[in-house]
Each structure stands twice: as C-alpha cells, then as structure tokens.
Structure 1
Amino acid sequence: MTDQQAIELIEKEFKVKTLGVTEQYLEIHSPIYTDNKLKVDRIDRDTKGEFLIAYLPVLEERFYFAVYINTKTNEGTGVGTEAFHRVYFRATSETLSADELKAMTSLTPTEFWNKGDLRKSGKSHHTFSHFEILPNPEPDEFEDKLKKLLDLLEQDKDGIRRLVDKANGYIQVAMDIHNGNGMIGGHNIDTDDIKRMNDLGLSINFDLYVGGKSFKD
C-alpha cells in the first residue's frame, strides 16, 4: 500500500464512517484539510505485523488522530488518538556554559542556550545553561520514541554519563493527551529500556497535559 492509497482510504473512512469510533471522534474533533486534501503528518510503517499507523493533526489541538490500517487486506481497522510526545535528553547547569556542556559529548544538541541568554519571549533571561537532544520530533508512540532516543545516546555512553554526573542529565517526557473519556491511559517502559537507562545513569521525568473535548453521551 502506497502513502497515497492509505490517505485515500482514510478520507473515505472519514466520509462514510464505517467504524463506529470514527463518528464518535469526528463528533468532537476535526482533522485538518489543506486545499481540500486531508493533512497527514506521518505514516508509520515501523510496526510489527501487517499494518501501518497514519497520524493526522487535530484542528486546534496538539494530539493526533491515529488511524490503523491492515496492509494485507487494505482495510481500516481502528481510529483513535495518539498523544503529542516529546521524549528528549536534557542537561542543565547554573555554572557551566553551553559550550562546556557540548564539549562533554560527541553528540550534537538539538537545542542549547547559555545562562543569561534572552528567552524566546524576549521578556526575561535564562537562569541556567541548557543542552537538549530530541532525535525524533515526528508523531510516534512513546515506547518507540524512548527506544530511538536511547539508540542515539548509546552512541556516546561516556559523554552522556559525564552530562549526567556534571550537569544533571536526564530524560524528559512531555505528553499532550486527549481526555476524551477521563481515562488517559498509561505507557510502558520495558525491562530492556530500564536496563539501558540504568547503564547510562539516567532518570526519567514525565509531564502530562490533557486537553480536547470529551466524548458525547
């Protein structure tokens, strides 16, 4: 199945609503259309089994519609939402500069700033230096994002351990979750990833935000 075929299948499902949950979601939230074409941010083929997941942005929200498609039968099998996940490594210091933090590892930061730099808002200055690695900002499941981050960090284990020891390095997770029925669900960290984090000396911190409209009775 090509990306275009997947998008056409989703467009048809959103019109005819053969799956009961489709109507339930579309009663409270809308996908985004550009030039009358459904906007799809990512089609995830890195899944187990014969299916893919298409992630669609939701109008005026940060979470996504997730549409599950069986690539063998070319049928949609489910519609749900996926949180907007940011899973990244960060290190901070009130005494070290951003250049000193960068010098501790061979890995390239996604974002950094120095203590005293003006914030993006332009209204105040940063009170600490910051080093951040965010390898995959695209829509994805939390478990996949964590594994991809660890894959990258393990390319320089000594450097990450230095940042952990000298600059409070850790993994930060931020999730924007749809609060459709009051049950936001949970996420799993398997024993392999726990061991991998432990080997790097990493802790993990979660910030959870809920939003969106509740399902209609």
Structure 2
Amino acid sequence: MTNHIKQLVAEELQNPSFFMTGEYLKVLQPLYKNGLPQVIKVDIDNVNAIAKAYVVVKDESFYLLFLFDIEKEVVLSCVETAPFVRISYTAVSKELELEDLLGLTTVLPTTIIKKGEKCGRGFEYDYNGLEFVSTDDPADFLDKLAAFLDVLETDSEGIKHLSEKTLCHEIFVTIIYHNDVASFTGLWLESVLMKRLSELNLGLTFDIYPSGKRLYSGD
C-alpha cells in the first residue's frame, strides 16, 4: 500500500485533481529525487481507515500532507500542509560535572554539552549539560510528545532527579508551520499527557514560527 500511495501522490502533483493541490504548488515546491516526489513518511492507520503521506518542501521545514481514505480502496481525500515539530529537554549546570549529570539518569542523551567546548561564533560553553531530542520525522504534536515522554519515562526517577539538581524543568516544543493562515491554531494537550508531565516535574515551552509564502497573497 505504501508504494501505491507514493504513486498516487506523484500523480496528484503531476496532474492536480484537488483545487488545493494547485494552490499549494503556486507557492511551494516539492522536492523530487529520481523523478519522484520525496515522500519522507507514510503513516497508515488501519483502525481509522486513513493514511497520511508527507512530502518534503524545498527550503522549508514543514511538509505537504496528502490524506487518504483507505476503508475500501485508497482514495485521496485532502491536501494540506503539516508542521515540523521538534521536542527537546535540556538539563544544564555550571556546578555539576558532566559525570555527575550522566550518573543521575539511565536515559541516554542525544547530545552531551561539555564545559569549555567551543559553541557558535567561537564562544565556549560555561556549563555542562545533557540534551534529549525527539526524532525529526513527521508526526502530530500529541503523538510526538507521547513518544518523547515514553523515552523519558524509562527512568522517571532519574529524569526527576536531573531536573531537580539542575533546576531545568522545561521541555521545549518547536513548531514551524506554513504561513497560509493568520496564526497557528488547534494546539491542545490531553489530560493524560498533562499528568505524565506533572509526574516528571516538567512543563512545556512553545516556540512557534510561520514560514513560507502565504496562499493567495504571494507574501
């Protein structure tokens, strides 16, 4: 089914049957490889009989999103954009040694920050730190946050100790969306996720950015 969906995406981009496909192609440029659009991910949800195909857009972080109804046959039902979402938690300390930080949790960090190492523009880090980062693959915010918490909860007590020792209690959520509306809407949290965050003694901070040319205006 995945290959069939990719072929349908290619056909729709070549000869748009949806009005919105044509409108998006006026302001966005899908990336191609070997003559085919770069479909970075296909999500198939058999329970709800839907599938999602994400296409890479040139010079942008967000994606073109193709929705399919797969209940009886694979039929394109909607074309829109999907935001880029990255989730990270960074714990830093000027006092604690790197070995001390690593000893607080068994969750492996994505990046280790060492005091004295060079960072951007020749500056040196004046602290040690551990950074935990989600994957960059396309996914809904709630799904990505749940998966990120799954990782942290493999050592809940360790993450709590890390946040308490460093006084770093914020998970950062970066969202980059297509600037085809006046503002980013529809962002919400399920109560079960709020409970999981509370049990880890962590909160959320959002950085939300519009990007790309707007539909209809050419801005």
TM-score (norm 1): 0.93
Query: Post-superposition shift, 1:46?
Result: 5.1
Aligned-partner residue type, residue 132 of structure 1: E
Matches for 1:23-34 after TM superposition, within 5 Å? 23-34=22-33
Q: CA deviation at 1:40?
A: 1.1
The letter of the residue matching 1:9 is L
User: For each residue in 1:44-67, what CA deviation from the matched residue of structure 2 results, as whole angstroms up to 9, or x when unmatched?
Assistant: 225750111111111111111111
CA contact (8 A) 2:88 2:172 kept: yes
- Aligned to 1:216, the other structure's residue is in SS state coil
How much is the aligned-residue C-alpha RMSD, in angstroms? 1.6
The yes-or-no answer on 1:149 pairing with 2:148 is yes
Q: Indicate how the Cα distance of structure 1 residues 47 and 149 shifts in structure 2: closer, same or farther if over 3 A, else same.
A: farther
Q: Pairwise mapping of residues 79-94 of structure 1 onto structure 2 (< 5 A)?
A: 79-94=79-94
Q: How big is the shift at 1:170?
A: 2.7
Please give the alpha-carbon distance, in whole angstroms, between the structure 2 residues aligned to 1:44 and 1:102: 35
Counterpart position of 1:78: 78
Deviation at residue 71 of structure 1 after TM alignment: 1.9
Q: What's the CA shift for 1:23?
A: 1.0
Amino acid at match of 2:91: A
Instruction: Give the drift of 1:42.
Output: 1.1
Using the alignment, how far apart are the partners of 1:45 and 1:99 within structure 2? 42
Displacement, 1:139?
1.2
1:79-115 Cα offsets, whole Å, 9 max, x none, are 1111111112221112223332121101111111112
Q: Which runs of 5+ in 1 are unaligned?
A: none
Counterpart residue type for residue 112 of structure 1? I
Change (3 A) 1:185 1:47: farther
CA contact (8 A) 1:33 1:39 kept: yes
SS of aligned partner of 2:122: coil
State whether residues 143 and 187 of structure 1, in contact with CA within 8 Å, keep that contact through their aligned partners in structure 2.
no
Matched residue pairs, number? 215
CA distance, structure 2, for counterparts of residue 80 and residue 161 of structure 1: 39
1:172 maps onto 2:167 in alignment: no
Structure 2, unpaired ranges of 5+: none
Fraction of identical pairs, as percent? 27
1:131-161 Cα distance to aligned partner (Å, 9 max, x none): 1122432111111100001111111111010
Equivalent runs, 1:102-117 vs 2, <5 Å: 102-117=102-117
